[in-house]
Structure 1
């Protein structure tokens, strides 16, 4: 038996499986995005410590926007999975 057929039997519905994969990808993408923002900010602060306050503010705003989009994506995926 193939892995896909086992997953389809367990989930019972292709839409639910797709919604679960979509929610996982949304969270994974948000984690990568916030990690990249954080790493770039730390690197920039190491190069120019005098602009740390401005960079931290910008980083927090960007991270909040990414987190908001990820939350929206997870909610949409869960609504699709329940529907």
Structure 2
């Protein structure tokens, strides 16, 4: 899933992208991986993050839920895309 998201961001922004382990791990996450774009100035900018969340309530008698979250910074995506126009 993350590779597909990375490719989608790259296609939209037309910038080189990468997946990188986040420098901060939220308390609700067992793993957080960021999607970053390389700006024309040579700086990597985070545009999205993906996390495996563990803080969702467990329904009675069911297995605890692990949820895959995708959080896009749409303002960042738009800003990077508009730079190319």
The TM-score normalised by the length of structure 1 is: 0.29
| Higher strand proportion | 2
| Higher helix proportion | 1
